[in-house]
Structure 1
Amino acid sequence: MGAGITGITTAYELAIDGHRVTVFDRNDMVASEGSFANAGLVSPGCVSPAAAPGLRRWLLRGLFTHESALRWRPNLNRSQWSWLRQWWQACEAPQAADVRAMVELARLSRERLAGITERYRLDYERSDGVLLLLRSGREFAATHRHMTMLTELGVDAQELTPERCREIEPSLREKVRLAGGLLLADDGVGNCRQFAQMLRDIAAEKYGVLFRFGTEVRALDCTQGRPLVHFEQRALRSPGTQERPPELRIEPYDAVVICGGASAKPVLRSAGLDLPILPVYGYSVTLRLRADGHAPRSAIVDARTGIAITRMGDRVRVTGGFEIFQDRQPLQQSGALMPLYKALHRWYPYAADMSQPQIWKGARPMLPHGPPVVGPAPSSGVWLNVGHGAHGWSLACGSARLLADQIAGREPSLNPQPFSVRPWLR
C-alpha cells in the first residue's frame, strides 16, 4: 500500500525475492505526494529522529527571526496536540541509540541505492557531497559534538574553515557571515521522483509487479486468517460519459505491507494500530539556473534554519518547513515560502531565474520520536514500513531491504529491534 519512494523500493525488493507483488495507490502515478519534489538529500549524516536535544530551542527561536521552520496554530485538534506533547517531552531525552539506528539504516540505504543504480545503469539527476554551513561559533561547537558521533558511526564528516567551504562551493555569496562548515563527502543528492519512476518500470517490466493506480485502500480485515484488503477503485471513464462512483472491492492476500504516507492512519486503525503518525508539511521551490553559473555544485544545508539548497541538473531546489497544520491558503501565498526565498538570496543570490518557480507542498508521515517502524505488525500477515518523516528518500532503500529480509526469515543486514512497533503498542 503506497507508491511513494518507500512503497516503490519495498515492491522492488519483495519482487526480486520472488514474491508476486501488487501496489495500491490512490494517485495516478508513483511519487505523487511526499516523494514528488523533496530536497533529494541522500545523507546518513543528516538523518535524525523528529525529536532531538536542542530542537525545541531551535524551532522556537525561528518564530522570532522570520526564518522559522515551525508553523502552527493554537486551534490544533486533539491528535495534533497529543503528537506535539510527545514530541516536546522527547526532545530532551537521550537520543543516541535512535540516531545510531537511523544512521546505520541510512548507510545501508545509500549502499543499496548505489547498487541498484549501478546494476540497471540508471541515469537520474544526482551529485556528490553535502555541506552543512555554520554561521556562528555556537553552531560550530554543537556540530563538533555531532560530528564526533557521526565519525564513530563510520560517516565521513570533516570540519571545514570558511575558506575551505568556499573552495567546495565557490558560488556562495562572498559577504555572508560564515563560521565554518561540516562536509559529508560520501553523502549526496538524487532526484527521488526520477529514481522512483525508473524503479517502477524495472519492477513492472522485469519482475511483474502490478501497479493499481487510482485505488484507495479503505481498511484491512485481519480476522479471517489471510488479510482482506477493502479498497475503492476509480472507474475508467470514456470521453463524454458521466463519471461513475468508485467500485468497492475486497481481495485476499498472503501479506500486506503498509507503506502509505500520512494518509495511512485509517488503514492502520483497521488493523488494530493507533500509531501517532502526523502529516508534517514541508515546502520546496524549484527554479531554473541562470546561464552565468552562480549555482551550488551539489547541496548545502543551513544549520540555523534546516533549509536545504540542492542542485537538480539545470535547476536549483530550496526545501524546508515544519508545518503541523494544513494551511488552506493558496500555495503561492503561503508564508512558509518566504524563508526559502530568503535562504536562496542569502547563500546564492545570483543562481536562479525567479520568473517561473515550481512550488510544492508535501506531507511527511512523522512519528513524534524515534526511528521509523519497519517490521511485522501484531496482526498476522500485516507488515509496516512507515514513519520515515523528512528522511524517506535517505532511508527508503535500506528500509525496503530490512523489511524484505524479515518477511523472508533471513538474518537482516542490521538489527531490526530499534525499528519494532512494540514501543508504540499500548
Structure 2
Amino acid sequence: MHVLILGSGVVGVTSAYYLARQGHEVTVIDRQAAPAMETSYGNAGQVSFGFSSPWAAPGIPRKAVKWMFQEHAPLKIQPRMDPAMARFMMQMFGNCTTERYATNKERMVRVAEYSRACIDHLREETGIRYEDRQRGLMQLFRHESQIASAAKDMKILEQCGVRHRLLGADDITDVEPALARVPGKFVGGLHLPDDQTGDCHLFTNRLAEYCRDQLGVTFRFGIDIQRIERRADTIESVMTSAGAMTADAYVVCLGSFSPLMVKDLDIRLPIYPVKGYSLTIPVIDDGGAPQSTIMDETFKVAISRFDDRIRVGGTAELASYDLNLLEKRRSTISMVVRDVFPEGGDLARAEFWTGLRPMTPDSTPIIGGTKYDNLWLNTGHGTLGWTMSCGSAHLLADLMAGRQPAIDPRGLDVGRYAA
C-alpha cells in the first residue's frame, strides 16, 4: 500500500524506513527544507534506553512549586492564559502516584528496550554512522537522597532485564575519567552500560538518504500541511500547499503539532510542547571532556560526547509554542557543563538552540491506530523521541501490516486516554 507520512523528524524517518522495508510505497512530507530541522535537530544526543523514566513521579508536584523560585531549576513555567497548559499540568500531576509511575515506567522501558535491539540491527543493516558511541550513560547524584530515590527505578530496571550498576563516588571516574578533575561534587552514579550517544540530526539525515536511495522512499520538503480531509470512518486526503495528497494510509508524526492536526477529526491528543534548550560546544581538551553521556540528576541536564563536540541539553519550559531563545535558560545549562567538565569545551563558541518536545501527561508515546481505519499515530515521545524512534516505528509498521509485533502494544495507543 501507499503510505503518506506527515513529518520528517527522527520518528517520521524511522517510520518510513520500517514501512519501506516491509514493501510499502512511502512518501514523507514536511514543511522544512530537509529532515530533522525541528525537535530532532539539537537534542541532547543521548539514546537512553535504560534511562526512560516518566516525568510524572511521586513528589514532583511539591518539587514543581520549589523550582518556581530557583534560578537553575529543571522545570520553568511561563505564566499565561493557556487552558491547554493547565489541562496538561493537571493530567501530569494525576500521574504522579507510585502506582501510575510504575505502570508508565514499564510501558516506556518496554518500547525503549525494543528500540535498543532495533537501532543496533538498523546500524548493522544500513551501515550509517552518526558520531555514535556505545559506551553507556551515567546518572550522576550530588546528594545521598538521590541514590535512595533511584532504588525504585533500579527495581523496575531489574524486572525488565536492563543492565545497570550503582557506583560510589570513587567508581564514577572509571566510567568518566574527566570527573577526577572535579572531586567531591558527586556522591555516586547509576551506570547503564548499554545506552548510547550520537547526533540525532546526522542519524536522521543519513537514514533518510538510505531510505531514498536504497528503499525508494519519496521525500517532499517545503510543503505546508494544512488539514486532513475525512469521509465517514476513512481519511480521504491531506490538503497541503502543493494541493491534495492521497494515499492508502496516513501516519501522523508531527510531534508537538500532532494535536493541532487531528483536532478537527475529533481526536484529542493530550500532547503539550515542552521547550528544551541545548548548547553544542567544540571540544578543546579530550581528557577533560565526557566520553559518553552523563545526566546531572540535580539539574536534569544531559552532557553527551560527539566526535569533536559536546552537546549539553536540558531545561523543561512550559511556554506553549514559543521558540524564543532565552539567555537565562542558557545560563543554567552553561553553569552545569562548566561545573562538571570545566576544561572540556570552548563555551565561547557554543551554538545555542531550542526545540519543542511533544510531551504526554504520562510520558509514554502514542503509537497505533485511531477510529479512522487508515489513520495512524506515532507521536508524543517527549524527551525520548530518538531513544524510542526505532522501536516505535517497527511496532507501528507491524501493526499497520496486521503482523504480530515483537512487543505487547497494550497501553501504547490513544485509547488509553478514552476515560
Q: What TM-score results when the alignment is normalised by the length of structure 1? A: 0.92
Q: How many residues are aligned here? A: 411
1:377-416 alignment to 2 at 5 Å? 377-416=370-409
CA deviation after TM superposition for structure 1 residue 336, in Å: 1.2
Q: Is the 8 A contact 2:293 2:304 kept in 1?
A: yes
Q: Which amino acid is 1:298 matched to?
A: S
Counterpart-to-counterpart distance in 2, 1:41 and 1:252: 36
Q: What amino acid sits opposite 2:169 in the alignment?
A: P
Name which of structure 1's ranges 394-403 and 287-296 shifts more when overlaid on structure 2. Answer: 287-296
Whether the 8 Å CA contact 2:252–2:376 is kept in 1: the answer is: yes
Map of 1:367-378 to 2, 5 A cutoff?
367-378=360-371
Equivalent residue, structure 2, for 1:335:
328
1:24 Cα deviation after fit: 1.1
Deviations 1:39-67 (A, max 9, x none): 12111221123322233344443334422
The alignment partner of 2:84 has SS state of helix
Matched, 1:26 2:20: no
C-alpha distance after superposition, 1:135-161 (max 9, x if no partner): 111111111231122122111110001
Report the Cα distance in structure 2 between the residues aligned to 1:79 and 1:145, rounded to whole angstroms: 31
What stretches of structure 1 of length at least 5 have no aligned partner?
234-246
Q: Which amino acid aligns with 2:129?
A: D
Secondary structure (helix, strand or coil) at the match of 2:155 reads helix
CA contact (8 A) 1:219 1:230 kept: yes
AA in 1 matched with 2:254: G
Structure 2: where are the runs of 5+ without partners? 1-5
CA distance in 2, matches of 1:318, 1:414: 32
Does the CA-based 8 Å contact 2:275-2:357 persist in structure 1? yes
1:102 aligns with 2:108: yes
2:213 aligned residue: 205
Within 5 Å, give how 1:22-421 maps onto structure 2.
Answer: 22-92=27-97, 94=99, 95-127=101-133, 128-172=135-179, 173-223=181-231, 226-233=234-241, 247=242, 249-291=243-285, 293-326=287-320, 331=325, 333-421=326-414
SS at match of 1:404: helix
Distance 1:152 1:329, change over 3 A: closer
Distance (whole Å) between structure 1 residues aligned to residue 153 and residue 32 of structure 2: 39
| Paired residue secondary structure (2:139) | strand
User: Does the 8 Å contact 1:218/1:266 carry over to 2?
Assistant: no
Quick one: which amino acid aligns to residue 296 of structure 1? P
Shift of the alpha carbon at 1:197? 0.7
1:230-267 deviation line (CA, Å, top 9, x unaligned): 3333xxxxxxxxxxxxx4x1132111000111122222
Letter of the structure 2 residue corresponding to residue 126 of structure 1: D
Q: In percent, how many aligned pairs have the same letter?
A: 33
Is the 1:22–1:210 contact (alpha carbons within 8 Å) kept by the matching residues of 2?
yes
Q: Distance in 2 between matches of 1:404 and 1:327?
A: 30
CA distance in 1, matches of 2:265, 2:227: 8
Corresponding residue for 1:424? 417
Do the aligned partners of 2:140 and 2:188 also contact (CA within 8 Å) in 1?
A: yes
* CA shift in 2, pair 1:129/1:405, >3 Å: same
CA distance in 1, matches of 2:188, 2:138: 10
CA separation of 1:26 and 1:328: change in aligned 2, threshold 3 A: closer
| 8 Å Cα contact 1:62-1:305 kept in structure 2 | no
Q: 1:79–1:93: structure 2 CA closer, same or farther, 3 Å change rule? A: farther
Q: Answer yes or no: is the 8 Å Cα contact 2:229–2:239 preserved in 1.
A: no
Aligned partner of residue 201 in structure 2, secondary structure: helix
Residue 242 of structure 1: aligned partner: none
If the length of structure 2 is used for normalisation, what is the TM-score? Answer: 0.94
CA deviation after TM superposition for structure 1 residue 195, in Å? 0.9
